[in-house]
Structure 1
Amino acid sequence: MAKKRFIAGAVCPQCQQKDTLRWWQENEIERVECVACEYTDSRAPQAVEESEQLSQQTKDQVIGIFKPQ
């Protein structure tokens, strides 16, 4: 089981309580939950998101693909 850590100074976007959010990583996914109102959120780690953005930028730079016939 992953170790859950509280995020100091963070405010829950749902109930606006401070210092109630905890974070952990599970199966390559970052998870956040509020212990006061049971708000939850999950996302891919930032490094994965950055690499996806880079590959999208690379795709945007491609003008066309040459296909000889």
Structure 2
Amino acid sequence: MSKVSKKRFISGAVCPKCKAIDTMALTKENNVEKVTCVSCGEQMVQTEEHVEKVVREHEQVIGVFKP
């Protein structure tokens, strides 16, 4: 069973998809941070740094979301 933290809203954050302000909520599930727009449903996910290094070692990544 996964452990999900409470939603924490990010003050002043703008959704990159719908451009709504103050609709971005941060949650953490299984040590993975997820930012979700409660207005349009757009999601961004970030794993912990030590996991990211192992998984992405041989990939070419343009950019990684950092809240």
1:48 is displaced (CA, Å) by: 2.9
TM-score (norm 2): 0.65
RMSD, aligned α-carbons: 2.0
Higher relative contact order (CA 8 A, sep 6+): 2
Q: Could you report, residue by residue, the CA deviation over 1:6-65 in whole angstroms, capped at 9, with x for unpaired residues?
A: 0001000000011000001110111010011111111113x437x82xxx6xxxxxxxxx
- Distance in 1, matches of 2:6 and 2:22, equals 17
Runs of 4+ in structure 1 displaced over 2 angstroms?
none
Map residues 1-69 of structure 1 onto 2, 5 A cutoff: 1-45=4-48, 47-48=49-50, 52=53
Percent identity of paired positions between Structure 1 and Structure 2: 39
Structure 2 residue runs without a partner (length 5+)? 58-67
Aligned residues: 52
Give the greater-gyration-radius structure (CA). Answer: 1
